């Protein structure tokens, strides 16, 4: 039972995320569907407050944005212009992390509703993908078949 709690908590931690937690949980021998569900839920538990707390931080960020922009923020803005919110959020878990992708989307003008919708879709899709790839990968390489 403690391992499942660690899956939930690990997925809730920014930068640790579902891309690491799901494969580790399944490789450890935990039930794939439970691991996928807990990792999805753990990640969403921290994404939702981030999205809704953004409005409170908006004024602070506007003041910061008025200062010189870094290369990283310029690159994020180029990515935003090219792929929009759906592209950034969908690629977030594998490129920059779902928390960072949601935060950047909000800073670049995405609405709470759109960010929440695309974050849910992205985290759900990637949870299933990581879970299936790991579960089937273990079956493929397991000599006890």
Asked if residue 77 has pLDDT above 90, the reply is no
What does each C-alpha distance from 39 to 3, 5, 32, 91, 94 come to in angstroms? 12, 10, 10, 17, 15
Of 22 and 137, the structure prediction assigns the larger pLDDT to: 22
Asked if residue 117 has pLDDT above 90, the reply is yes
pLDDT band at 80 (very low <50, low <70, confident <90, very high): confident
Task: In whole angstroms, give the CA distance from residue 60 to residue 93.
Answer: 26
Q: Looking at residues 117-122, what average pLDDT do you find? A: 95
């Amino acid at each position: 039972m403690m391992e499942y709690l660690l899956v939930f908590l690990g997925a809730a931690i920014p930068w640790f995320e579902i891309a690491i937690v799901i494969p580790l949980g399944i490789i450890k021998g935990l039930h794939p569907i439970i691991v996928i569900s807990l990792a999805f839920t753990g990640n969403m538990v921290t994404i939702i407050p981030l999205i809704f707390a953004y409005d409170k931080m908006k004024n602070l960020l506007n003041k910061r944005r008025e200062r010189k922009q870094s290369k990283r923020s310029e690159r994020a803005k180029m990515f935003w212009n090219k792929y929009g919110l759906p592209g950034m959020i969908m690629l977030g878990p594998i490129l920059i992390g779902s928390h960072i992708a949601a935060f950047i989307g909000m800073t670049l003008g995405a609405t709470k509703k759109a960010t929440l919708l695309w974050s849910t879709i992205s985290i759900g899709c990637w949870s299933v993908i990581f879970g299936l790839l790991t579960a089937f990968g273990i079956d493929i390489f397991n000599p006890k078949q």
